[in-house]
Structure 1
Amino acid sequence: MRIDLIADTHGRLDPRIAEAVAGADLLVHAGDVGAGIDEQLAALADPVIIVAGNNDPADCPWPVEQVVDLPGGRLAIMHGHQWPARTRHRRLCERFHDARAVVCGHSHRRVIETDGQPWLLNPGAAGRTRAYGGPGFLRLTIIDERWQIEPHVFEPWRARRPRR
């Protein structure tokens, strides 16, 4: 089973990521989606799970958190803006203590913490906004209830030079 994890598109999904995640068995977006991205994701994979982030409209159709049962454990998804940076990871792991992994966004910084239980995963930004180290996503592969996580990171977009 191939599950691709993205976050923080802010209205722009990097086309290299769109190509890479197309056909996933499950596509997860951990918030700060932006206009039109949900339709774009629906064309790439089925099903798609999206949770709301702090930059998504209050009336958006997505829940604040979601938990999905997968072979080998539960995957919890929450943007993570509800807590300050210094306690965010601990609080997410406490909230979803019975999950195998927790996916979050918000910081735009890629995190793969698999030493403890639950794992804490932040795919980093999948758009152009503050994509530290380059836009990217995480791929979770599940084979016979064994989970493996792999980062996919692309070269940062070069800033355009102003016309003279």
Structure 2
Amino acid sequence: MAIEVIILSDNHGKVKVMDQIREAYPNADAYLHCGDNELRNSDMEPYHAVTGNNDYFYTYPEQLVVNVKGHRFFITHSHTLRYGKRIEDLVMLAKKNQCEFACYGHTHIFDDQIVDGIHIINPGSLYYNRDGSQPSFARLTIDDEGNTTVEKLYAEDLQ
């Protein structure tokens, strides 16, 4: 049976779009949030969330490792990683934590690449993408053979 993981970041307090995502993908195996949600912890259920540089008022971990049906995800906002070495640091941290995926936010730019065997994913921002594209999130699917597909999905399509 295929595995579905929904990945978001940088919604900066926008709750409605998060509710729309859960309604659109009610059977996802996991919901991951890569920081800058600016919401109370109770508003983040069922998301596994990390803290971002704008999460001033509520406490979330700096990093998380989440196991989704045997697949390990390293999650961070990435604002504390070295500038210009973010991807290198993500690969190192994912490997250190025995993860095959590294999910991050902060840049407000969608990213989907495999580096040194680690699948790196940034879902973009649900608030404002700095590359000029519409607010976005990601849907990761892992099929029965272990093949992965990452889709960039747009918040405007949920309405």
Secondary structure of 1:96 counterpart:
helix
The corresponding residue for 2:36 is 32
Q: How does 1:1-164 map to 2 (within 5 A)?
A: 1-13=3-15, 15=17, 17=21, 19-36=23-40, 38-42=41-45, 47-57=46-56, 60-97=58-95, 98-114=98-114, 116-128=116-128, 130=130, 132-144=132-144, 146-154=146-154
Between the two proteins, the alignment pairs up a number of residues equal to 150
| Aligned-partner Cα distance in 2 for 1:117–1:87 | 17
CA shift for structure 1 position 117? 1.5
| Aligned-partner Cα distance in 2 for 1:145–1:74 | 16
Over the aligned positions, Cα root-mean-square deviation in angstroms equals 2.6
Contact 1:12 / 1:128 at 8 angstroms: preserved in 2?
A: no
Larger radius of gyration: 1
Contact 2:82 / 2:89 at 8 angstroms: preserved in 1?
A: no
Runs of 5+ consecutive residues of structure 2 not aligned to the other structure = none
**TM-score using structure 2 length:** 0.79
Letter in 1 for 2:67: D
| Aligned-partner Cα distance in 2 for 1:141–1:149 | 5
Letter in 1 for 2:9: A
| Aligned-partner Cα distance in 2 for 1:96–1:11 | 28
Letter in 1 for 2:78: G
Taking only the aligned residue pairs, the percentage that are identical comes to 28
Letter in 1 for 2:84: R
Letter in 2 for 1:95: L
CA-to-aligned-CA distance 1:39-87 (integer Å, 9 cap, x gap): 4442xxxx42000111112x62311111122345311101100124311
CA shift for structure 1 position 145? 6.2
Runs of 5+ consecutive residues of structure 1 not aligned to the other structure = 157-164
**TM-score using structure 1 length:** 0.77
